[in-house]
Structures are given as C-alpha cells and as structure tokens.
Amino acid sequence: MKSVIFACLAALAVAAPQFGQLNPVAILRDERQDLGNGAFVYEFEADNGISESRRGFSGSQGQTNMEGSFRFPLPDGSFAEVRYVADENGFRAESPFIPTPHPLPAHAIEQIRIAEEQRARGITFE
C-alpha cells in the first residue's frame, strides 16, 4: 500500500507545473571586433531586450579605456539603461536607476564651509 501511495505522489510531483523553469533566450546579435592595441568593439543583443554596446580604445597610460551602455527589461515592461565610461579618471556610470546619496543637512554643509575657511587661513588642529 505504501508503494502505491509513493508512486501516486511521485506521479503527481512529475505532472505538476514547473514554475521555476527558465525560458530559453535567443541571441540576436553578438559581434566582437579586435582593432589591435587594446581597441575593440563589442555589440550584444538578446530577444528578451537585454543588450550591450561597448567600445575600447588605448588610454594615455597604456591601459584600455572603455565606454558603452547596457539595458535590460524591468518587471513593469520598461527598460533600464546605464551608460558608462572607464578611463584614467575611473569608472563613471549614468542612469536614473542608480541610487544617489541623500543631500547633506544644512549644519553639515556649514561645518564643511568653516573647515575649508580655516584650512585656507592655515589653521590646523592636532
């Protein structure tokens, strides 16, 4: 009897809908071009809306600098897009979806102003 119940439960588990399965994503475009000396062009696009575009070029100190963008779908059907630059000055990204810090309170701004004035006059604290 236990075997029959176990077999029924196993059959039920196999026949249940599979909610966690991922749908396959088709790659629409994947282009890569090496231009030499650290320069390159990269383009990627998938049928679910994910895409990336990146360009690399030689930097002033021998490194490869990059600039590009990527986008991906959000649950509400809209898309988030991020544009970025990575070069001698570091990595900088721009997007309305990147969180920003809260503004400093007025008393903190005043304290910073006072400290800058004191530093300009040569006043130091040890």
For the whole model, what pTM was predicted? 0.60
Distance CA 125, CA 53 (A): 50
Q: What is the pLDDT of residues 19-33, one digit of tens each?
A: 666 788 999 999 999
Structural domain containing residue 89: 26-105
pLDDT for res 22? 75
The number of distinct structural domains making up the chain is 1
Within a domain: 85:
yes
User: Is residue 86 one of the residues assigned to a domain?
Assistant: yes
Q: Is residue 99 part of a domain?
A: yes
Q: Which DSSP symbol is given to 21? A: P
Whether 19 maps to a domain, the answer reads no
Of 76, 111, 121, the closest CA to residue 97 belongs to 76
